[in-house]
Amino acid sequence: MEKEKGLLIVLSGPSGVGKGTVRKEIFSNPERNLVYSISATSRPKRPGEVDGVDYFFKTREQFEEMIERGELLEYTEYVGNYYGTPLEYVKKTLEEGKDVFLEIEVEGAKQVREKFPDGIFIFLIPPSLKELEKRIKNRGTESDETIKNRMEVAKEELKMMGLYDYVVENDEVKEACRKIKAIIEAEHCRRFRIQNKLEKLLGGC
């Protein structure tokens, strides 16, 4: 019997909106069958981040080798650093019938949409632009110049939400997580996704 493939869930949104926080909360109590695809990056580790948990931390040279070998599903250079998704792991996990969760930048999500049009694309938005600026500032690890740069990029990124299936406001983290989990649950109930199972039932008619 053909095994049902997993869903590719892509969480993205403007810089500073809190994608990482939301993703961590989701995986603090994950649904069975939901697997996080760890990104690779060439940016320096921030305090508290762990290699192989938050990211696979690479040097620029290592990252560029991965690009050349076609080992990335998507990648982007953002404020001077590379971010990308190792392809092999995603494919293998979907084939096993597990859902794969990507938390990636907007530019990368665009590349994934082209390669996996059936993916579920969720755009995380801030309650307001003012709140977004506050969050970027509060992170406290960036220079004034970087903050200004990030706000400009974020505004451009917000305009990309037309490419997404769902939009979730990240006002309260737990509430945003609840909505994202509901979206995943609902997508598993979409008729066109479970046609095989249904035909089996109808076969008895």
CB of 91 to its own copies, least distance (A): 26
Phi, psi of 5 (to 5 degrees): -75, 155
List C-alpha distances in Å: 151 to 10, 50, 66, 74, 192.
22, 26, 29, 23, 39
Measured distance CA(62)–CA(82) in Å, rounded: 11
Query: By the 8 A CB rule, do 109 and 85 touch?
Result: no
CA 74-75-79 angle, 5° bins: 150
Q: Which region, judged by CB under 8 A, interacts with its own copies, from 21-29, 73-81, 141-149, 155-163?
A: 155-163
Binding of its own copies at residue 158 (CB under 8 A)?
yes
Q: Which of 34, 129, 147, 173 binds its own copies (CB under 8 A)?
A: 129
Q: Which of 75, 85, 166, 170 binds its own copies (CB under 8 A)?
A: 166
Binding site annotation covers 19?
yes
Residue 82 is encoded by which pair of tokens? 């590379």
Binding site annotation covers 16?
yes
Q: Residue 88, SS3? A: helix
- Residue numbers 186-205 binding its own copies by CB under 8 A: 186-187, 189-191, 194, 198, 201-202, 204-205
Annotated binding site: 13-20
Annotated binding site for ATP: 13-20
Q: What is the contact surface with its own copies in residues (CB under 8 A)?
A: 122-123, 125-126, 128-130, 155, 158-159, 161-162, 164-168, 178-179, 181-183, 185-187, 189-191, 194, 198, 201-202, 204-205
